[in-house]
Amino acid sequence: MTFKLPPGLALQKVDEKIMTLNVGPQHPGSGHMRLIVQIDGDYIVACDPDPGYVHRGEEKMAEYRNYILNIPHLERPVIHDSCNVLYPYVLGSEEILGIEVPERAKYVRVIASELNRCIYIMYWLAIYGIFLGHSTMFMWPAGDRELLIDLMEKMTGARVTHAHFVPGGVRNDLPPNFEDVCLRQVNYFEKRIKEYAAIFYDNPILIARTRDTGVLSRQDAIRYGTTGSVLRASGVDYDLRIKEPYDVYEELDVHTNVMKEGDSYARSKIPWLDMLESCNIIRQALQKMPKSGSVRTKLKPNPKGKGLDSVYKRVESGRGSLGCYIVSDGKVEPYRVKLSVPSFRNLIALPNLLRGEKLGNMPSVYWSLNYWPVEADR
């Protein structure tokens, strides 16, 4: 009599030299995900990422709620970047519902989106610092992030998960005197993040740990379909704010930062350069924004699509291109909402980057991919 064991319990042939190591699933960094790493001594032979521990069923949930009530739960995947996560969904549902957006609302959205990008990158940078044992780099970004969180709180009424964007604009106008406060705090924020160069990016200890580790070549970066900072760190100049401008990005002067090395150092520096660029965009948007006017088109209760219709919209989030595919069948609820998230696409490159690296370099390579576990699992 023979038992057939389920795959997880089946005995594996053990190699004397190769050891299998489970990193996670309890928080290897932030959010639950597991890396199954096979090591030979100190060197990684193979790595198998195992996401899926924080699957929340966001896409299925979206099929049971109308276009407005989908907003609070669809921004949950990345609470620090909640405006950008929601952005493609809002752009898509505007097209399906046939709503025009006032000009001022577009500028408010761009400002909120850029502030949120900085907030996300600061959080990511804080964790990158603590991954490399640099406690100061954990404390400084976590503290300076407060300047921008304070702005978002004044603007939207919540420190995280703002629920601010709606089909047809934004939910409330800017508070009085916001432009001055925003300009003052963004200027100070820019001055602060420039100080990170001396302590972190020019620090020989950081350079020794991240330079030439996990090198992703230009061809591989394109072949694996990576996006955002990972793609730009490998020498591909691709930013959706320039290539497919949405809202008012066409009227703003946006530059991208590209580095050719493709190693962990380049991947950690590109988001920091992006933050400096975001500060420029915020200043431009504050200058060009119409000083008064409506910020929201009034919606009918329970808005519907016109019939069988589908739309795909994507935006540049803090991690890369984030797409949302919405299918409508003319009912109050969307028929299908599919999120195409950058975290999952960047994770595909991880096994190839870690092969041949030392185990001690694993945290720096893993977190430099700008990966957010909850977003990858949706």
Partner 1 sequence: MGTATGIIRALNSGIKHIAMKRFTLRYPEEKLKFVGDGYQFDPSTGVGIAGLKGRHMLFHDHCTGCQLCSIACEGVAEAIAMVKVPEEQKQNKKSIMPQIDYGKCVFCGLCVDACPFYALYMTNDYELSSFSKEGLIYTPAQLQVKPYVAQDSEIQISDRGATHG
Binding site for partner 1 (CB under 8 A): 64-66, 68-73, 136, 143, 146-147, 150, 153-158, 161, 163, 171-176, 184-185, 188, 195, 198-200, 202-205, 207, 294-299
C-alpha gyration radius of the chain: 22
Minimum Å gap between C-beta 175 and partner 1 is 4
**Residue 258 φ then ψ, to 5°:** -125, 135
**Quick one: 161 or 257, whose CB is closer to partner 1?**
161
Minimum Å gap between C-beta 165 and partner 1 is 12
Minimum Å gap between C-beta 157 and partner 1 is 4
Minimum Å gap between C-beta 183 and partner 1 is 11
CA-to-CA distance for 192 and 69, rounded, in angstroms?
38
Minimum Å gap between C-beta 154 and partner 1 is 5
CA-to-CA distance for 233 and 260, rounded, in angstroms?
6
DSSP string, 31-86: SS-EEEEEEETTEEEEEEEE--TT---HHHHGGGS-TTTHHHHHT-TTGGGHHHHH
**Quick one: 154 or 336, whose CB is closer to partner 1?**
154
**Quick one: 164 or 319, whose CB is closer to partner 1?**
164
Which of 208, 49, 76 has the alpha carbon at shortest distance from 133? 208
**Quick one: 219 or 302, whose CB is closer to partner 1?**
302
Q: Alpha carbon of 208 to those of 201, 212, 220, 235: distances in Å?
A: 11, 9, 24, 21
Largest Cα span, the chain? 81
**Quick one: 32 or 65, whose CB is closer to partner 1?**
65
